[in-house]
Amino acid sequence: MFELTGKKAVITGGGSGIGKAIAMLFAQRGAEVHLLDISEAACAQVAREIQEEGGRATAHACDVTRQADVHACLGEIGPLGILVNNVGIAHVGKADNTAEEDFDRVMSVNVKGAYNCLHAAIPLLKENGGGVILNMASVAAWVAVPERFAYSAAKGALMAMTLSVAKDYLQDGIRCNSISPGRVHTPFVDGFLAKNYPGREAEMFERLSQTQPIGRMARPDEVAALALYLCSEQASFITGSDYPIDGGFIKLNA
């Protein structure tokens, strides 16, 4: 079960964190993995790790906010079976203190970046006879998280895009779902804490961990396991759905 042998998978933000964990697991399960990341060095390192384990992986430096670059990159990859829209950035701020440039940056990466990948990948999925799209949403699309105005808006948009794509491409054999992680311990989180809470990293890490009723942050490999299921043939009856993986954050924090 949960084999991806013969599948070509594109994973954005594959150079670290959740994207890296998904890439590693997909390759272990037989997929030919293509890693897209703005950092060529980061995705190249992940590709090397996969190759050293006997897997197939190629790194691609790509800025997902530039549609021409995404089309060129995916055109080089060719017909594919899986797209994982994982790349994303965060921002701390309320509606009245979020600067325009910060709002635009979050929307450009998290929303336009996903759109650009969809725009380029869907014709390639059709050419392949169908496939799977998985978008990385967030619990912030479901519940109010303090001072995450731009981030919540972006992840809410991504969830709505998931429904739209799932509806529009049913007849093309394309399934589209999303995952909504709670807090996941990744280098992204460590950098976020260092930037926004300098000198208070340990305190804030513990505080954020405890917001999950289960009492800790998720591990990237736990999110990757859910991604593997949703992109496998065992999930062939699932489309247009979002799957929280949040340690009880949405349902048990009321």
With tokens 């950092």, the residue in question is: 39
C-beta separation of 160 from 204 below 8 A: no
Burial 21-37 (b: 16+ CB within 10 A, else e): bbbbbbbbbebbbbbbb
Sign of the Cα pseudo-torsion (3, 8, 12, 17, in order): positive
Tell me the one-letter amino acid at 45.
Q
Active site residue 151: yes
Name the superfamily (CATH) of residues 8-182+220-235.
Answer: NAD(P)-binding Rossmann-like Domain (3.40.50.720)
Q: Which phi and psi angles does 164 have, rounded to 5°?
A: -60, -45
Nearest to 70 by CA among 105, 122, 24: 122
Q: Could you please report the per-residue DSSP string of 73-120?
A: HHHHH-S-SEEEE-------B-TTT--HHHHHHHHIIIIIHHHHHHHH
With tokens 């964190």, the residue in question is: 17
Q: Could you please report the per-residue DSSP string of 162-174?
A: HHHHHHHTGGGTE
Delimit the domains of the chain by residue range: 8-182+220-235, 186-217
Q: Which of 115, 151, 169, 243 is catalytic?
A: 151
Q: What is the DSSP letter of 201?
A: H
Q: Using DSSP, state whether 183 is helix, strand or coil.
A: coil
Nearest to 80 by CA among 25, 9, 174, 14: 9
**pLDDT tens, residue order, the chain (254 aa):** 899 999 999 999 999 999 999 999 999 999 999 999 998 899 999 999 999 999 999 999 999 999 999 999 999 999 999 999 999 999 999 999 999 999 999 999 999 999 999 999 999 999 999 999 999 999 999 999 999 999 999 999 999 999 999 999 999 999 999 999 999 999 888 988 898 899 999 999 999 899 899 999 999 999 999 999 999 999 999 999 999 999 999 999 75
